[in-house]
Each structure stands twice: as C-alpha cells, then as structure tokens.
Amino acid sequence: MSSIITEAFTHDHHACDHLLAAAEKSLTSGDWAVIGQASEALISTVNHHFDVEEQTLFPRLASIYRVASNPIEVMCSEHAQMRALLSDLGEAVAQRDRDTCQGVLETFHFLTQQHNSKEEIVLYPMADGALRDQATEIAGLVARES
C-alpha cells in the first residue's frame, strides 16, 4: 500500500519537533531576538501544517470515509488547543517572560506528541488508502524545504 501521505506528513511533524527543540534551545541563550525568531519559525510552520490538514487533507478524507469524521473532529479540537498554546507563546515572547515560554513549550510538546502519534498511526494510513490518486498533490503541500 502507498504511504506517500504518511511519509510526507510524518516528516513535517519531525520538522516541527526540530523547530520546537530549537526554540527551547534559544531560551537558554537569553537573547530575545534569537528567541523571537525561533518561536516565530515554530509558530508559522505548525500553523501551516494545521491549515493543510484542516483545509485539504481532512475534508477530502471525510468525504470518502464517513467513519473518519469522528477522529477528525478530535484532531481538530486538539489543533485548537495547540493554536491557543502557540498564541500564549507569542504573548510570552512579547513580554520576555522566560518561565512562561518554557512552560508553554513543555505543554505544547506533550500535546503535540500524542496528537501526532495518533495521526501517524490511524489517520494518515487511512488517507493513503482513500486518497491514492491525490496523494502526491496533498503531500506536496507540506513538503517544504527543511
């Protein structure tokens, strides 16, 4: 069975993991310009990933497999939680509040890991099965230089 979608989106998850680790590392530098850049990179990459899932991957999957709509709903509500945390992160960076930055990143990290794991195990393989003829096109949406 094809795994184009699983591979591309899993790869993008890892790209986000690297950016999160980089943001945490930047906190130890104490240089707020560097911290701002690192968290900006994290926020925009994660938001882009969510956008592709919410606007393209999930709706197309749901239109073919009705059973997927319940798990998709759970995934989207977790996106909302993570987006809220990212906006907390932006605020904390603006206020130069290091402890809050660290707290938000830790919470965001755990939430993201369990979220990604569920997508990689269940939803992406399902999407690979359902969207065989569109897989390359959808995968292209998250395949960015990294």
Minimum distance from residue 78 beta carbon to other proteins (Å)? 9
What is the binding site for other proteins (CB under 8 A)? 17-18, 20-22, 24-25, 28, 65, 67, 70-71, 74-75, 77, 80-81, 100, 102-104, 106-107, 109-111, 113-114, 117-118, 120-123, 125-126, 129
Q: Does 24 bind Fe ion (CB under 5 A)?
A: no
Minimum distance from residue 12 beta carbon to Fe ion (Å)? 7
Nearer to other proteins, 89 or 141 (CB): 89
Give the containing element (helix H, strand E) for 112.
Answer: helix 98-118
Q: Which residues contact 31 (CB under 8 A, 6 or more apart)?
A: none
Nearer to other proteins, 74 or 140 (CB): 74
Question: Which of Fe ion, other proteins, none does residue 67 bind (CB under 5 to 8 Å by kind)?
Answer: other proteins
Q: What are phi and psi of 144, to 5 degrees?
A: -115, 170
Q: Look at the chain and count its residues.
A: 146
Long-range Cβ pairs for the range 71-77 (8 Å, 24+):
71/118, 71/122, 71/123, 72/123, 75/115, 75/118, 75/119, 75/123
Question: Which of Fe ion, other proteins, none does residue 18 bind (CB under 5 to 8 Å by kind)?
Answer: other proteins
Torsion of the alpha carbons at 44, 95, 116 and 140, rounded to the nearest 10: 0
Nearer to other proteins, 2 or 140 (CB): 2
Question: Which of other proteins, Fe ion, none does residue 106 bind (CB under 5 to 8 Å by kind)?
Answer: other proteins
- Give the DSSP per-residue string, 23-80: HHHHHHH--HHHHHHHHHHHHHHHHHHHHHIIIIIHHHHHHH-GGGHHHHHHHHHHHH
Q: Does 128 bind Fe ion (CB under 5 A)?
A: no
Q: Does 119 bind Fe ion (CB under 5 A)?
A: yes
Residues lying near Fe ion in the complex (CB under 5 A)? 53, 119
